A and B are shown apart, each in its own frame.
Chain A
Amino acid sequence: MSDLNHAVDQLQQALNEIDVKLAWDDLPMAALEEFKAALDNVRTSLLALIGAADASDYQRSLRRLRLHRAAQVCHSVFSSVIDGTVGPATPGITEFKATVDETLKQVERLIGRRV
Protein backbone atom coordinates (compact mmCIF):
# COMPACT_ATOMS: atom_id res chain seq x y z
CA MET A 1 0.00 0.00 0.00
CA SER A 2 1.42 3.44 -0.94
CA ASP A 3 1.96 6.15 1.68
CA LEU A 4 -0.92 8.13 0.22
CA ASN A 5 -3.29 5.16 0.29
CA HIS A 6 -2.21 4.41 3.85
CA ALA A 7 -2.90 8.03 4.94
CA VAL A 8 -6.28 7.99 3.17
CA ASP A 9 -7.13 4.67 4.78
CA GLN A 10 -6.28 6.01 8.25
CA LEU A 11 -8.28 9.13 7.66
CA GLN A 12 -11.32 7.15 6.58
CA GLN A 13 -11.06 5.04 9.73
CA ALA A 14 -10.91 8.19 11.87
CA LEU A 15 -13.97 9.59 10.08
CA ASN A 16 -15.87 6.36 10.71
CA GLU A 17 -14.96 6.54 14.39
CA ILE A 18 -16.29 10.09 14.53
CA ASP A 19 -19.55 9.06 12.90
CA VAL A 20 -20.02 6.39 15.55
CA LYS A 21 -19.19 8.73 18.42
CA LEU A 22 -21.58 11.39 17.17
CA ALA A 23 -24.47 9.04 17.84
CA TRP A 24 -23.64 8.94 21.54
CA ASP A 25 -25.68 10.76 24.13
CA ASP A 26 -24.35 13.85 25.84
CA LEU A 27 -21.13 14.35 23.95
CA PRO A 28 -19.23 17.07 25.77
CA MET A 29 -19.07 20.42 24.00
CA ALA A 30 -15.29 20.52 24.31
CA ALA A 31 -15.05 17.20 22.45
CA LEU A 32 -17.28 18.46 19.63
CA GLU A 33 -15.15 21.58 19.32
CA GLU A 34 -12.00 19.48 19.13
CA PHE A 35 -13.59 17.34 16.39
CA LYS A 36 -14.57 20.39 14.46
CA ALA A 37 -11.16 22.04 14.67
CA ALA A 38 -9.38 18.81 13.72
CA LEU A 39 -11.72 18.26 10.77
CA ASP A 40 -11.26 21.82 9.54
CA ASN A 41 -7.50 21.30 9.60
CA VAL A 42 -7.67 18.01 7.71
CA ARG A 43 -9.94 19.53 5.08
CA THR A 44 -7.66 22.55 4.55
CA SER A 45 -4.59 20.31 4.25
CA LEU A 46 -6.34 18.07 1.75
CA LEU A 47 -7.49 20.99 -0.36
CA ALA A 48 -3.97 22.49 -0.34
CA LEU A 49 -2.58 19.18 -1.55
CA ILE A 50 -5.25 18.78 -4.21
CA GLY A 51 -5.11 22.39 -5.39
CA ALA A 52 -1.33 22.75 -5.68
CA ALA A 53 -0.25 23.71 -9.18
CA ASP A 54 3.23 22.31 -8.61
CA ALA A 55 5.54 21.18 -5.83
CA SER A 56 6.90 24.64 -4.97
CA ASP A 57 3.38 26.08 -4.93
CA TYR A 58 2.43 23.35 -2.50
CA GLN A 59 5.47 24.03 -0.29
CA ARG A 60 4.50 27.70 -0.04
CA SER A 61 0.91 26.78 0.85
CA LEU A 62 2.14 24.27 3.40
CA ARG A 63 4.38 26.81 5.14
CA ARG A 64 1.50 29.28 5.40
CA LEU A 65 -0.80 26.54 6.70
CA ARG A 66 1.74 25.47 9.30
CA LEU A 67 2.16 29.02 10.54
CA HIS A 68 -1.59 29.54 10.71
CA ARG A 69 -2.11 26.24 12.54
CA ALA A 70 0.73 26.90 14.93
CA ALA A 71 -0.83 30.26 15.84
CA GLN A 72 -4.24 28.60 16.31
CA VAL A 73 -3.01 25.82 18.54
CA CYS A 74 -0.75 28.19 20.51
CA HIS A 75 -3.86 30.26 21.16
CA SER A 76 -5.64 27.11 22.40
CA VAL A 77 -2.76 26.31 24.74
CA PHE A 78 -2.76 29.92 25.92
CA SER A 79 -6.47 29.60 26.81
CA SER A 80 -5.80 26.33 28.62
CA VAL A 81 -2.99 27.94 30.64
CA ILE A 82 -5.20 30.90 31.53
CA ASP A 83 -8.12 28.71 32.65
CA GLY A 84 -5.75 26.51 34.66
CA THR A 85 -6.26 23.22 32.80
CA VAL A 86 -2.63 23.36 31.73
CA GLY A 87 0.08 24.20 34.23
CA PRO A 88 3.68 23.55 35.22
CA ALA A 89 2.86 19.93 36.09
CA THR A 90 1.30 19.12 32.70
CA PRO A 91 3.41 16.56 30.81
CA GLY A 92 5.33 18.11 27.92
CA ILE A 93 5.03 21.68 29.13
CA THR A 94 8.76 22.15 29.80
CA GLU A 95 9.71 20.98 26.33
CA PHE A 96 6.97 23.11 24.81
CA LYS A 97 8.13 26.20 26.69
CA ALA A 98 11.65 25.71 25.34
CA THR A 99 10.21 25.36 21.81
CA VAL A 100 8.15 28.54 22.22
CA ASP A 101 11.17 30.49 23.47
CA GLU A 102 13.35 29.33 20.58
CA THR A 103 10.63 29.90 17.98
CA LEU A 104 10.02 33.39 19.33
CA LYS A 105 13.74 34.11 19.13
CA GLN A 106 13.91 32.95 15.50
CA VAL A 107 10.78 34.87 14.48
CA GLU A 108 12.19 38.03 16.05
CA ARG A 109 15.47 37.48 14.21
CA LEU A 110 13.50 37.20 10.98
CA ILE A 111 11.42 40.29 11.43
CA GLY A 112 14.38 42.27 12.70
CA ARG A 113 13.36 42.93 16.24
CA ARG A 114 15.84 42.99 19.07
CA VAL A 115 15.59 39.81 21.14
Chain B
Amino acid sequence: MAKARDEGTDHDVEHLPEHLQDLHPVAETIDADVRRGVKEVTEALAMLQARKPPGNAMSEGVRYLGLEVDSLRQSVWAVLKAQNAGDLAGFIGRVRIRRANELCQDVLADLYTDTVPSNMPGLRVFHAMLQELAEVLEVRNNE
Protein backbone atom coordinates (compact mmCIF):
# COMPACT_ATOMS: atom_id res chain seq x y z
CA MET B 1 0.00 0.00 0.00
CA ALA B 2 2.82 2.40 0.86
CA LYS B 3 4.35 1.86 -2.58
CA ALA B 4 1.10 2.88 -4.25
CA ARG B 5 1.03 5.97 -2.06
CA ASP B 6 4.54 6.96 -3.03
CA GLU B 7 3.84 6.60 -6.69
CA GLY B 8 0.61 8.59 -6.70
CA THR B 9 -2.72 7.12 -5.78
CA ASP B 10 -4.91 9.00 -8.27
CA HIS B 11 -2.73 7.85 -11.15
CA ASP B 12 -3.03 4.22 -10.03
CA VAL B 13 -6.81 4.40 -9.75
CA GLU B 14 -7.15 5.92 -13.22
CA HIS B 15 -5.33 2.94 -14.72
CA LEU B 16 -7.58 0.36 -13.14
CA PRO B 17 -10.40 -0.99 -15.34
CA GLU B 18 -13.49 1.12 -14.75
CA HIS B 19 -15.45 -1.68 -13.10
CA LEU B 20 -12.64 -2.15 -10.58
CA GLN B 21 -12.09 1.47 -9.67
CA ASP B 22 -14.84 1.38 -7.06
CA LEU B 23 -13.04 -1.49 -5.36
CA HIS B 24 -9.87 0.52 -4.87
CA PRO B 25 -9.34 0.78 -1.11
CA VAL B 26 -11.05 3.74 0.50
CA ALA B 27 -7.83 4.36 2.42
CA GLU B 28 -6.11 5.32 -0.84
CA THR B 29 -8.66 8.09 -1.42
CA ILE B 30 -8.27 9.40 2.10
CA ASP B 31 -4.52 9.19 1.72
CA ALA B 32 -4.74 11.39 -1.40
CA ASP B 33 -6.98 13.79 0.55
CA VAL B 34 -4.41 13.99 3.32
CA ARG B 35 -1.61 14.72 0.84
CA ARG B 36 -3.73 17.42 -0.78
CA GLY B 37 -4.55 18.77 2.71
CA VAL B 38 -0.84 19.01 3.58
CA LYS B 39 -0.21 20.92 0.35
CA GLU B 40 -3.11 23.32 0.92
CA VAL B 41 -2.12 24.04 4.50
CA THR B 42 1.46 24.68 3.39
CA GLU B 43 0.17 27.17 0.81
CA ALA B 44 -2.09 28.83 3.38
CA LEU B 45 0.88 29.19 5.74
CA ALA B 46 2.85 30.96 3.02
CA MET B 47 -0.13 33.30 2.49
CA LEU B 48 -0.38 33.98 6.21
CA GLN B 49 3.28 34.92 6.39
CA ALA B 50 2.94 37.17 3.35
CA ARG B 51 -0.26 38.87 4.45
CA LYS B 52 -0.39 39.81 8.09
CA PRO B 53 -3.91 39.64 9.53
CA PRO B 54 -5.45 42.70 11.26
CA GLY B 55 -3.69 43.54 14.54
CA ASN B 56 -6.29 42.65 17.18
CA ALA B 57 -7.20 39.44 15.41
CA MET B 58 -3.64 38.23 15.68
CA SER B 59 -3.41 37.11 19.31
CA GLU B 60 -6.75 35.29 19.33
CA GLY B 61 -6.03 33.83 15.91
CA VAL B 62 -2.62 32.55 16.95
CA ARG B 63 -4.06 31.03 20.14
CA TYR B 64 -6.75 29.25 18.15
CA LEU B 65 -4.27 28.14 15.52
CA GLY B 66 -2.16 26.75 18.37
CA LEU B 67 -5.12 24.60 19.46
CA GLU B 68 -5.54 23.29 15.92
CA VAL B 69 -1.85 22.52 15.64
CA ASP B 70 -2.05 20.71 18.97
CA SER B 71 -4.91 18.65 17.60
CA LEU B 72 -2.89 17.86 14.48
CA ARG B 73 0.08 16.77 16.57
CA GLN B 74 -2.17 14.55 18.66
CA SER B 75 -3.37 12.83 15.52
CA VAL B 76 0.27 12.26 14.52
CA TRP B 77 0.83 10.77 17.97
CA ALA B 78 -2.19 8.54 17.45
CA VAL B 79 -0.44 7.02 14.42
CA LEU B 80 2.73 6.43 16.40
CA LYS B 81 0.76 4.68 19.12
CA ALA B 82 -1.15 2.66 16.55
CA GLN B 83 2.03 1.06 15.32
CA ASN B 84 2.59 -0.58 18.68
CA ALA B 85 -0.81 -1.36 20.05
CA GLY B 86 -4.28 -2.43 19.18
CA ASP B 87 -5.81 0.44 21.12
CA LEU B 88 -5.96 3.06 18.38
CA ALA B 89 -9.72 3.49 18.78
CA GLY B 90 -9.35 4.01 22.53
CA PHE B 91 -6.55 6.51 22.06
CA ILE B 92 -8.48 8.44 19.43
CA GLY B 93 -11.50 8.41 21.72
CA ARG B 94 -9.46 10.01 24.51
CA VAL B 95 -8.04 12.62 22.12
CA ARG B 96 -11.54 13.43 20.90
CA ILE B 97 -12.85 13.88 24.43
CA ARG B 98 -10.06 16.29 25.29
CA ARG B 99 -10.59 18.20 22.07
CA ALA B 100 -14.37 18.27 22.48
CA ASN B 101 -13.98 19.52 26.02
CA GLU B 102 -11.67 22.35 24.91
CA LEU B 103 -13.98 23.40 22.10
CA CYS B 104 -17.13 23.27 24.22
CA GLN B 105 -15.35 25.34 26.88
CA ASP B 106 -14.53 27.93 24.19
CA VAL B 107 -18.15 28.01 23.01
CA LEU B 108 -19.26 28.22 26.64
CA ALA B 109 -17.04 31.27 27.14
CA ASP B 110 -18.69 32.89 24.10
CA LEU B 111 -22.13 32.04 25.51
CA TYR B 112 -21.29 33.52 28.92
CA THR B 113 -20.20 36.78 27.29
CA ASP B 114 -23.35 36.92 25.12
CA THR B 115 -21.34 37.10 21.92
CA VAL B 116 -23.28 34.30 20.24
CA PRO B 117 -26.43 35.54 18.48
CA SER B 118 -29.42 33.20 18.81
CA ASN B 119 -29.63 32.98 15.01
CA MET B 120 -25.99 32.06 14.49
CA PRO B 121 -25.65 29.52 11.66
CA GLY B 122 -25.02 26.08 13.09
CA LEU B 123 -26.44 26.82 16.54
CA ARG B 124 -29.49 24.57 16.10
CA VAL B 125 -27.33 21.71 14.83
CA PHE B 126 -24.99 22.15 17.78
CA HIS B 127 -27.95 22.18 20.15
CA ALA B 128 -29.35 18.96 18.70
CA MET B 129 -25.91 17.32 18.95
CA LEU B 130 -25.53 18.40 22.59
CA GLN B 131 -28.94 16.98 23.44
CA GLU B 132 -28.09 13.61 21.94
CA LEU B 133 -24.68 13.56 23.55
CA ALA B 134 -25.97 14.53 26.99
CA GLU B 135 -28.56 11.78 26.75
CA VAL B 136 -26.18 9.02 25.67
CA LEU B 137 -23.56 10.04 28.25
CA GLU B 138 -26.21 9.94 30.97
CA VAL B 139 -27.38 6.49 29.87
CA ARG B 140 -23.83 5.08 29.70
CA ASN B 141 -23.01 6.63 33.04
CA ASN B 142 -25.90 4.80 34.68
CA GLU B 143 -25.21 1.43 33.11
The answer to whether B75 and A31 touch across the interface, beta carbons within 8 angstroms, is yes
The answer to whether B108 and A62 touch across the interface, beta carbons within 8 angstroms, is no
- Indicate if B40 sits at the interface (CB-CB under 8 A): yes
CA distance A30 to B79 in the complex (A): 9
B77 to chain A, nearest CB (A): 9
Q: By the criterion of a CB under 8 Å from any partner CB, how many residues of chain A are at the interface?
A: 90
B33 to chain A, nearest CB (A): 5
Binary contact readout B68-99 vs A (1 if CB under 8 angstroms, 0 otherwise): 11011111101110110000111011111111
Query: Which residues of the partner chain B approach A49 to less than 8 Å between Cβ atoms?
Result: 48, 53, 57, 61, 65
The answer to whether B125 and A38 touch across the interface, beta carbons within 8 angstroms, is no
The answer to whether B26 and A66 touch across the interface, beta carbons within 8 angstroms, is no
Q: By the criterion of a CB under 8 Å from any partner CB, how many residues of chain B are at the interface?
A: 94
**Nearest CB to that of A31 among chain B residues?**
B79
Given contacts A36-B37, A103-B108, contact A50 B51 (CB under 8 A): yes
The chain A residues found within 8 Å of chain B, CB to CB, are 3-4, 7-8, 10-12, 14-15, 17-19, 21-43, 45-50, 52-55, 58-59, 62-71, 73-78, 80-83, 85-88, 90-93, 95-97, 99-104, 106-108, 110-112
Closest 7 CB pairs of A and B: A39-B37, A55-B56, A58-B57, A34-B75, A46-B44, A86-B93, A70-B103
